[in-house]
Amino acid sequence: MTTSNCRHCGHNLSLTFVDLGTAPPSNSYVTAEQLAEPETYFPLRVLVCDECWLVQTQDFAERDVFFSADYAYFSSTSKSWLAHAQSYVETMAERFDLTTSSCFVEVASNDGYLLQYVQELKVPCYGIEPTHSTAVASREKGIETHEEFFGRDLAKRLRNAGKSADLIAANNVLAHVPDINDFLAGFSILLKDTGVVTFEFPHLMRLVSECQFDTIYHEHYSYLSLLAVDRIATANGLHVFDVEEIGTHGGSLRVYAQRADQQPYPLSDNVSMLLQRERDAGMATREYYAAFQTSVYDIRNGAMRYLMDAKDRGLSVAAYGAAAKGNTFMNFCGIRSDLIEYVCDMAPAKQGKYMPGSRLPIERPNKIEETKPDRILIFPWNIKNEVAAQLSYVGDWDAKFVIAIPQIEEFSP
């Protein structure tokens, strides 16, 4: 399956944003038994629709390839992400007066990382999560979890079963859906008359300004601006009435929407102000997207010079965080075990496996204390402070942390 038309408006896609070559799916971690087998690589190419300004991958495979039953990303692994989830729940409960008679739904509920805090408030809730591994973990927390992809069909079945929602959290999922129209239309079906849905997603403006190319991978079908999201929401029965800029994932947006046929909430000036900022930045012009590829090459060249210099100086380098970011970064740069010895990660589901493409072994975090590397490259740079705090002991042997985005930076514990 190859697409060359916009996933929202159907316009022919002729403008390339970035071409990162080919790579295996970023969350397809390799087991020891699979080391002798070849991996499947797909082109990782991102295009821009110059009609609706949706930035999107060119698709070469169905979504089941990327969101498999043994999906290895568990949201509860990150303490900072749990803190964000708890804060979100408390904020939404207060703003929208959620009570024991309300219904709170999360789409892409993963392992129950967020809904556990909804349960603590005694607000009735359920999750929707298509990946079996994380859905099982969610149910183990006592959370009702519907194990399938969200869209019009599921929304109708849930509504007909009396499960319409006062608030739907759809955080860090809008970028992950191939059929963005079907997905968004589902919310206008599942919401009650006065219901609200929130979407959180990395802001394309920040991705471009800070060259966050490692946030691009096959599972992220879209890279989103408010310009695009507002248009797509309107086309699918939703009305965007507020937006906030938040710090997660290197700079994200939290968009609030309601049913277009009801609109109980007034339109905030935040929406028009951010739309104007995006227009002023040039996000509705072809020229805005043209220089990104060159910036990506500059980061790759700088990172490779740094790692080659470290090798020449006899410095040992390990990495922390077997994240999708790291896989995109290593596969585009061509980094292998001659430059980075191993990757550590706190997630048991990843430990003992190997990074896709690079085949770097994934170890427990205590491997760092055992081997005492001179440099630790933090792949999930968006939580670098959390990681540095966890590994502060590396200062005992004068090791330094490194991030590569938006440029190579060393810092001490």
**What topology does CATH give the domain 292-411?**
Rossmann fold (3.40.50)
What are the distances in angstroms from CA 305 to CA 78, 162, 406?
Answer: 31, 59, 15
Please say whether the beta carbons of 75 and 40 come within 8 A.
Answer: no
pLDDT the model gives residue 269: 99
Evaluate if pTM is beyond 0.85.
yes
Q: Report how far residue 372's alpha carbon sits from residue 127's, in angstroms, rounded to the nearest whole number.
A: 42
CA 18, 378, 406 angle in degrees (round to 5)?
Answer: 40
Region of 272 on the Ramachandran plot (φ > 0 left; ψ -120 to 50 alpha; else beta): alpha
Q: So what's the pLDDT on residue 27?
A: 86
Question: What fold is seen in the domain 75-289?
Answer: Rossmann fold (3.40.50)
What confidence score (pLDDT) does residue 1 get?
A: 46
Place of tokens 């079996």: 132
Q: Where in the chain is the domain with CATH 3.40.50.150?
A: 75-289
What is the reported pLDDT for 15?
A: 96
Rounded Cα distance between 194 and 93, Å, is: 15
* Whole-number Å distance between alpha carbons of 372 and 318: 9
Q: At what angle do helices 324-333 and 292-312 cross, to 10 degrees?
A: 80
Q: What are the mean pLDDT values of the chain's consecutive 10-residue runs (413 residues total)? A: 83 97 92 96 96 92 60 72 95 98 97 96 97 92 96 98 98 94 98 98 97 94 98 98 95 98 97 99 97 97 98 98 95 97 94 97 98 98 94 97 96 95
Domain with CATH 3.40.50.720 in the chain: 292-411
Residue at 270: amino acid letter: N
250 in Cβ contact with 202 (< 8 Å):
yes
Please answer whether residues 134 and 74 qualify as being in contact, where contact means their C-beta atoms are separated by less than 8 angstroms: yes
Helices 226-235 and 180-190, interaxial angle, to 10°? 60
